Amino acid sequence: MSNPAYFTRYENLAFDRTDDGVLTMRFHTDGGPVTFTGQTHEDLPKALEDVALDTDNRAMILTGTGDVFMDSIDGDSLGEIFKPLVWEKIRREGLAVLQRLLSLPIPVVGVANGPATVHSEYLLLNDIHVASERATYGDFPHPAFGITAGDGLQVVWEEIAGTARAKWLLWTGETIDAATAERWGVVNEVVEHDRAYDRGMELARTLAAKPALYRSLQKQTLNQHLLRRIVEGVPFGMALEGLTAADLAYRK
């Protein structure tokens, strides 16, 4: 059976699927660790829609390439984010990614194969979250750029780790290691670095073997509250983030 067209459609996303229906979606740039760009931001909601519509997918692993989940971003590639029409496109895409991750009709296992200091919320939204012992978590771009973290980090970290911890992480720009993330309830399992992906595959195969309707409806049952928080909090948060982006451009 040939692979579906979307497997090679997206510049920063690589796909592979086992015979029993476990799809791996891997962030990358030219086959190495990903640098997140405006193109990645635009492609991701489309790719997740492709995944959702492909009935051969029974479970998914979300991970990075090499020893990094995601720790680099090309801010300039996002365009003139201080302009309302440009920011509105980013706002729509950002909300769509989070909604679609939560609404996929299949369970998703996140594998943090290394530092996750850009868009760590993607991992936290997964149904099961496995981390390499080398994984670290935090928010590099927003404190570095001086832009409010309103694109979902604030909602997801507060829901998963608690308000005080989310405030500390997003105010300070500090990182936490995998053991701390497990203690905070952010990670389900921390495993040896070389075993992280294999452990994710073990879990994903177990989930993929469950009945299709159970997989889909269990996904909806367990994510209802978090999805509601995303829909309520992210559009407002990204509007505030856009204001700080405009202020940054003004101050330059």
In the Cβ-directed half-sphere of 131, how many Cα atoms lie within 13 Å?
25
Q: How many CA atoms lie within 13 A of 232 on its CB side?
A: 8
Is 121 one of the catalytic residues? Answer: yes
CB 219 within 8 A of CB 104: yes
Burial annotation 46-75 (CB, 10 A radius, 16+ → b, else e): bbbebbeebeebbbbbbbbbeebbbbbbee
Contact 159, 233 (CB under 8 A): no
Tell me the CA end-to-end span of the chain in Å, nearest whole number: 54
Find the catalytic residue in 11, 80, 93, 121.
121
Residue 245 burial by CB count (10 A; 0-12/13-18/19+): exposed, middle or buried?
A: buried
Distance CA 102, CA 74 (A): 26
Separation of alpha carbons 147 and 18, rounded Å: 40
Residues classed as catalytic: 121
